[in-house]
Amino acid sequence: MESEKYVVFQAGKQQYGIPVSSVSSIEKMLDLTKLPQVPDYMSGITNVRGKVIPVLDIAKILFNQPFKKSNSNKIILVNLNDSIVGIIVEDAKEIVDVLSEDINEVNGLVTANVTYLSGVIQTDTGFVTLLNLEKLVVNLGDIESIREQMEQLTT
């Protein structure tokens, strides 16, 4: 039986999971610097251990609603296509070990236009929707221009 660990986080009133293997670190909320003329899901940039990191608002991406500011906000740094990107979440809850047979597929009608959903698991606290962040970010129309702007900032 194969298993994989997932970081469970809160966005909106939902719980989501991303593979621990794609997570670089989980940081307390950091100061963000806004950039002009970037998509509204990009909250800004921040400095983490000497590196400039773009920070995306996962609630804005998923629900078109900005994240709810609170003391429990975190930034999860993830490795995406050889780049580190931060995602703001309302709270990083826990790390769960999930057996592959415990992952339920989401009905094809639901996922036809949402290819970034990997499945759903049931936990003691409810459902956790598993995300494929690479597919989610690739679906964002302006992600390439953001990467180019980040490269210009760091060179």
Tens of pLDDT, residues 131-153? 988 878 766 765 555 555 555 55
* Domain at 3-154: CATH code: 2.40.50.180
Quick one: three-class SS letters along 128-143? Answer: EEEECHHHHHHCCCCH
Tens of pLDDT, residues 29-86? 989 999 888 888 899 999 999 999 999 999 988 888 888 888 999 999 998 877 889 9
